Amino acid sequence: MTTETIDGVAVTTRANVYFDGKCVSHGITFPDGTKKSVGVILPASLTFSTGAPEIMECVAGACDYKLAGSDAWVRSEAGQKFSVPGNSKFEIRVADAYHYICHFG
């Protein structure tokens, strides 16, 4: 079951562009002030750093990820989530496209 739309939010019109456009997201804010982002990672092997803890929810496509301190690459596909601790890192490999919702905290 994937989350196809998120209702009743404010969207930030300016995109977040990371890694020369290999990752593009738009921020969304809920009425209670909660912030998330919706984005896509294009074919690439990237390393992301976290500030707050994050939950990455795949809404389409797929990726393989590896958390800091782990040697295991794990597949994540549409409808699946993975958690990343705060002040940490994760590696991600995308062959086609990985569409996601990033939940913070």
Residue 103 sits in the site that holds a second copy (CB under 8 A):
no
Which range touches a second copy (CB under 8 A), out of 15-23, 46-54, 67-75, 79-87? 15-23
CA distance 95 to 88: 23
Residues 15, 52, 74, 95: which binds a second copy (CB under 8 A)?
Answer: 15
Position among 56, 63, 92, 101 found at the interface with a second copy (CB under 8 A): 101
3-state secondary structure of 75: strand
- CA-CA distances (angstroms) from residue 69 to 33, 36, 105? 33, 26, 20
What is the C-alpha to C-alpha distance for residues 87 and 4, in angstroms, rounded to an integer? 29
Q: Rounded to the nearest 5°, which phi and psi values hold at 35?
A: -110, 140
Interface pick for a second copy out of 17, 52, 74, 95 (rule CB under 8 A): 17
> Which of 5, 32, 33, 51 forms a contact with a second copy (CB under 8 A)?
5
Q: How far is the CB of 72 from a second copy (least distance, A)?
A: 27
Stretch binding a second copy (CB under 8 A), from 39-47, 48-56, 65-73, 84-92 = 39-47
Question: What 3-state DSSP class applies to 22?
Answer: coil
Tokens read off for 9: 């939010």
